[in-house]
Structure 1
Amino acid sequence: MPKSARLTKLTLVALCCCLCLGVWGGQRAQAAEVSASYMYSFWGEAVAAPAAYQATDLHDGQSLGLGAFKEPNDLYVRADGTIYILDSGNNRVVRLDERLEPIDVIDGFVNGGAQEGFANPQGLFVTETGHLYIADTGNRRVVHLDENDELVKIIDSPESELLQANFVFQPMRLVVDNSERVYVMAAGVFDGFMEFNSDGTFSTFIGANRVYVDPVEYLWKMLATRQQRSQMVMFTPTEFTSLDINEEGFIYATNGDRFGDPIKKLNAQGTDILRREGMDSPMGDLLYTSSTGPSRLIDIDVGDSEMYSVLDAKLGRIFTYNGDGHLMYIFGGLGNRLGEFNTPIAITRSGDDILVLDKALGEITRFQTTEYGRVLNEAVRSYYRGNEAEAAQYFYEAINLNANLEYAYAGIGKAELRQGNYSDAVHYFRQSMDHGNYSKAFQLLRKEVLREHFSVIMSGIVLAVVLLVLVSRYRKMKARKKVVSV
């Protein structure tokens, strides 16, 4: 390569690197010191907010009389309140009632007359009928037990042309839909979730993440020699970190993608249909330091009325969004106090309570709503049911507790808009900085004003035209008189 061309190429690379570093560093690198409970403003600033949830009690294996939990990895709550804890290090599933009192322990099952156990299981799922699915990772299989803890089937060593010949099945997390299709997040799989039919046969992959390339790495790869490029990491899609499923069969998933969308909602075709109508796309923390980096969302839980919560493993925070992607509240953190964690690994809901599992400490923390959190939850539920008037009342209460809650102003604006109160809707959308709905409300308000004052406006226009005609004729007559007198 000529020297001048080499210098030009290096100059372009340097400029691009500076630009990338400037954009990333200036946009997110410096995070403001924030309180334990906070929100983000329209301008992306962290502002203090009332606590939506507070930690009320803490439980571990010893306090429950079951022996210490050892690196638990997952937990699940059935609709009847039964709590399942996957005590991975002890190769067992612990079952508790809604008061977190022990019911029993599942540490194995009978298969063909022989007793078998689990080996470092990583995920579990329970159906409404009480069927238990366990990602038995160490044994490279999924175990399906019925409501009596008896074996129904085992899914292992799937065979398909879509799988490589040397593929090793290592299930990590899983969910089951109403048709008993099993969706598995497997280690080392970059093609999305593995879908199994109700009989346990492998069907296909769904929801593969897109490949996002780091511009700096791409530029360096362009400049590298063939030998250096062969030693570089291939650009591959990121793996998912967790998944959950709602009553309608939509899969909510999190991944470790820094450049794409870390939260997705997948339909049956694997297409992401998550609504992102908030001020920022759901991603956890908007601000972060260079030492912590962006949020690493490790688990997701879907509640009623399309509300969902994600758990950040980096700083131990829980972020809750509504179905439109508006951030509702943030709580949690890392530390030694009640309500803080060491290594948060899983999150689930028990009614309106939120349970968080700490892997390193083997503890479950229960969070319960404050008045502020209860009001926000009920506002979202009322709006989801189509009761805009009731939702507006709850949003009014939320604003009285937190005047900086721009999302609540938007909620009131939507309620006023649907009720035809366009002037009030314009007012609240202006306060919420919701430009799209503000424009819509303003157009409707303008039409309403024109419709109500149409007769007055038209009379004024006709009168103005008549006056103009009369003035024009008067000027012409005056001009003719001047010509005649001359």
Structure 2
Amino acid sequence: MFRRLQNMKAHLLVSLCCLIGVSAGGTLVHAEDGASSYNYSFWGDTVASPAAYQATDLLSGPDLGIGPLKEPSDIHVTPDHQIYVLDSGNNRIVVLDEELRPVATIASFERDGKADTFLNPQGLFVTEDKQVLVADTGNKRVVHLDRNFKLVKIVEAPESELLKENFVFQPVRVIMDKAQRIYVMATGVFDGFMEFNADGAFTSFIGANRVFIDPVEYFWKRLSTKAQRSQMVMFTPTEFTNLDMDDEGFIYATNGDSFGNNIKKLNAQGNDILRRTGYFNPQGDIRFSIDLGPSRLIDIDVADSEMYSVLDSKRGRIFTYSGDGHFMYVFGGLGNQLGEFKTPAAIERVGDDFLVLDKALGEITVFRTTEYGRTLNEAVRSYYRGEEEKAFQLFNQTINRNANLEFAYAGIGKALLRQGDYAEAMKHFKRSMDQKNYSKAFLLYRKQVLREHFATIMTLIVILAAGALAVRKYRKTMGRKRGVSIE
């Protein structure tokens, strides 16, 4: 609770600085209104950054040869780069290959010998072996199909003592792990994700968001009457807005929390284990105007090496973070130009490239990496794999292109730390304001110096001790000659 309040105070302080510092320079306006690339410094200032991604293609349904897309809501890419698009308004799933050519269309499936269809589906997930799960929202169910689009099972409204009597099952997002457990994000559920076993039976909730209590409002609630309390905001957890799963089975999720905890990484017990060792908690924009407010994250995509990207619906921006929580780069925006959106709904990676789905326009924007983006991605991957020398070289190339990327200096410092070059590591940790690792490097450097010069130091100590004894003996001898006793 104490850490939570500290985070809240830090967040409010940054917001206050934003309000009173609007005219203090161009950096805030650049982050709030522009769609250009930027980073945040240790002090929370927006600083210029080279573009990590550039929009190269804008594709509509007719461009893809599949007819107009009507309010598409989700997109998923398989390991072999097949692309599944959930065309919600047309109640179908469109499958494309890596070159964005149509492969198949799933508009119905056979159930009990009859054709069954989707109704306003909102969520889609495809496993490594290409089993398809659909959050069939309008039909209040989850549909599980095999790789040939044959029905495996239907997950419908569960019966449980954990659910209210008037509970209405409206799934909007769904994922499945390697053990065939299904996790569902449902409308109006504040207890976390609904977990179903391999047979489709409801087992429990997982990962419920903690309730944030405003101390002032809580105080007034204690003093108010029953009628007054009924008019106040209830202390309920925030709903999740999306989820994804990495190769190890950890669930990454976004929620409506606006105090820097709107991204989570959940283990099997539902505990949040996301590392937040960057200058600021991963949360989208940390500087914003009071009119538009903080980022609202509505989708998350997990890549290799624990990198993950989130989509901000308020500004149409895609933020990417390393596994340690360092802000790597941002791209996108709202507008009418290539690389901007009207209503961004979902993001997915195809290798190192990105696909962004625009729900209102029924279009897919393709973003491809620049040289800077490829170098930074590979630097983070190399560090994650423990390839110190390669990470050192790539991070150096990165800061040659972007001296404002302060966490890259920490990456160089960590690589040097692993190589045993503690003195040079200290310099880079100081540049990146990484006090924890600076202290670690300093202690190791001190031990190294003592170890290397131990013989010299001990010799000096012995010489000084011997000299002190000789001086003392000399003084005693001279004192006796003079008839003076020297202690």
* TM-score when normalising by structure 2: 0.92
Check conservation: 2:260, 2:282, Cα contact below 8 A.
no
Report the CA distance between 1:25 and its aligned residue: 4.4
Name the stretch that deviates more: 90-99 or 193-202: 90-99
Which SS does the other structure have where 1:460 is aligned?
Answer: helix
Which residue of structure 1 lines up, in the alignment, with residue 192 of structure 2?
192
CA distance in 1 between counterparts of 2:250 and 2:453 reads 49
Report the CA distance between 1:246 and its aligned residue: 0.8
Report the CA distance between 1:303 and its aligned residue: 0.5
* Distance change in 2, residues 1:25/1:432 (3 Å): closer
Which residue of structure 1 lines up, in the alignment, with residue 125 of structure 2?
125
Report the CA distance between 1:366 and its aligned residue: 0.7
Residue 109, structure 1, aligned to residue 109, structure 2: yes
Letter in 2 for 1:33: V
CA distance in 1 between counterparts of 2:216 and 2:335 reads 35
Which residue of structure 2 lines up, in the alignment, with residue 293 of structure 1?
293
Letter in 1 for 2:29: E
CA distance in 1 between counterparts of 2:318 and 2:469 reads 71
Which residue of structure 2 lines up, in the alignment, with residue 26 of structure 1?
16
Q: Which runs of 5+ in 1 are unaligned?
A: 1-18
Give me the identity figure in percent: 64
Name the stretch that deviates more: 376-385 or 247-256: 376-385
Report the CA distance between 1:231 and its aligned residue: 2.2
Report the CA distance between 1:471 and its aligned residue: 3.4
* Distance change in 2, residues 1:484/1:54 (3 Å): closer
Query: Aligned ranges for residues 237-276 of structure 1 at < 5 Å?
Result: 237-259=237-259, 261-276=261-276
Which residue of structure 1 lines up, in the alignment, with residue 41 of structure 2?
41
Report the CA distance between 1:125 and its aligned residue: 0.4
CA distance in 2 between counterparts of 1:416 and 1:260 reads 31
Write out per-residue CA displacement over residues 271-321 of structure 1, whole angstroms, 9 at most, x where no aligned residue: 111111111111111111101111111100000111100111111111111
Check conservation: 1:88, 1:120, Cα contact below 8 A.
yes
Which residue of structure 2 lines up, in the alignment, with residue 9 of structure 1?
none
Which residue of structure 1 lines up, in the alignment, with residue 397 of structure 2?
397
CA distance in 2 between counterparts of 1:220 and 1:76 reads 47
* Distance change in 2, residues 1:367/1:114 (3 Å): same
Which SS does the other structure have where 1:347 is aligned?
Answer: strand
Which residue of structure 1 lines up, in the alignment, with residue 343 of structure 2?
343
Letter in 2 for 1:280: F
CA distance in 1 between counterparts of 2:113 and 2:439 reads 69
Which SS does the other structure have where 2:367 is aligned?
Answer: strand
Which residue of structure 2 lines up, in the alignment, with residue 143 of structure 1?
143
Name the stretch that deviates more: 470-479 or 444-453: 470-479
Residue 159, structure 1, aligned to residue 172, structure 2: no
* Distance change in 2, residues 1:37/1:21 (3 Å): closer
CA distance in 1 between counterparts of 2:439 and 2:336 reads 48
Check conservation: 2:310, 2:319, Cα contact below 8 A.
yes
CA distance in 1 between counterparts of 2:441 and 2:205 reads 43
Report the CA distance between 1:214 and its aligned residue: 2.6
* Distance change in 2, residues 1:27/1:159 (3 Å): farther
Which residue of structure 2 lines up, in the alignment, with residue 311 of structure 1?
311
* Distance change in 2, residues 1:334/1:216 (3 Å): farther
Which SS does the other structure have where 1:62 is aligned?
Answer: helix
Report the CA distance between 1:23 and its aligned residue: 4.2
Report the CA distance between 1:259 and its aligned residue: 2.8
Which residue of structure 2 lines up, in the alignment, with residue 383 of structure 1?
383
Report the CA distance between 1:461 and its aligned residue: 1.6
**Aligned-residue CA RMSD (Å):** 2.0
Which SS does the other structure have where 1:33 is aligned?
Answer: helix
Q: Which runs of 5+ in 2 are unaligned?
A: 1-8, 23-27
Check conservation: 2:298, 2:311, Cα contact below 8 A.
yes
Which residue of structure 2 lines up, in the alignment, with residue 227 of structure 1?
227
Which residue of structure 2 lines up, in the alignment, with residue 284 of structure 1?
284
Letter in 2 for 1:170: Q
* Distance change in 2, residues 1:42/1:260 (3 Å): closer
Which residue of structure 1 lines up, in the alignment, with residue 6 of structure 2?
none
Which SS does the other structure have where 2:289 is aligned?
Answer: coil
Which residue of structure 2 lines up, in the alignment, with residue 67 of structure 1?
67
Letter in 2 for 1:211: V
Check conservation: 1:212, 1:260, Cα contact below 8 A.
no
Query: Aligned ranges for residues 435-450 of structure 1 at < 5 Å?
Result: 435-450=435-450
Name the stretch that deviates more: 212-221 or 72-81: 212-221
Check conservation: 2:11, 2:259, Cα contact below 8 A.
no
Which residue of structure 2 lines up, in the alignment, with residue 363 of structure 1?
363
CA distance in 2 between counterparts of 1:21 and 1:243 reads 24
Write out per-residue CA displacement over residues 337-381 of structure 1, whole angstroms, 9 at most, x where no aligned residue: 111111111111011111111111111111111001000111111
